[in-house]
Amino acid sequence: MEKTLIILKPDTVQRGMAGRIITRFEEKGFQIAAMKLMKIDKGLAEKHYGVHKDKPFYPKLLEYITSSPVVVMVLQANNAIAVSRKMMGATFGSNAEPGTIRGDFGLSNSFNLIHGSDSPEAAEFEIGLYFGAGDLIEYNKAIMPWIYDHSGSKPE
């Protein structure tokens, strides 16, 4: 199963919506492999968002992501990255389609509720920033045969 890092950002936590968003992922069929509430410090934020260092929004991004606690999760599913990004919706809530997380809960072009890895390489890097080797838990969920068709060579 593919893994992705999801961050429920400061605005999600402050608005009391973390549970509702986690429920969406669980109802879709994602499995939680790791999860914690934390406050991201400036050093960690600089490592995570370093790719944006030269962009004009970078200082505001660091200020925002370090302003309040976040919920950080590793979720897994078949095609976890593509599916989670589709569930999140367009980057800005004002442009996101209804039915997506940002489309249903966001209006701001600065506060966008949620982060999700955009590639397998990014997921591996980002998961390593927030979780150590023993932090991810592998377990079997009894519901999995009802989420994926297991009749073939791989779950679909």
115 catalytic residue (yes or no): yes
The phi and psi torsions of 98 (rounded to 5 degrees) equal -55, 145
Contact (Cβ atoms closer than 8 angstroms) between residue 84 and residue 116: yes
Provide the 10 A C-beta neighbour count for residue 134. 7
- Burial of 151: CB neighbours in 10 Å, binned 0-12, 13-18, 19+: exposed
Strand partners, 114: 8
Instruction: For residue 52, give the DSSP letter.
Output: G
- Burial of 118: CB neighbours in 10 Å, binned 0-12, 13-18, 19+: middle
Catalytic residue among 48, 52, 115, 150: 115
Q: Which residues are catalytic?
A: 115
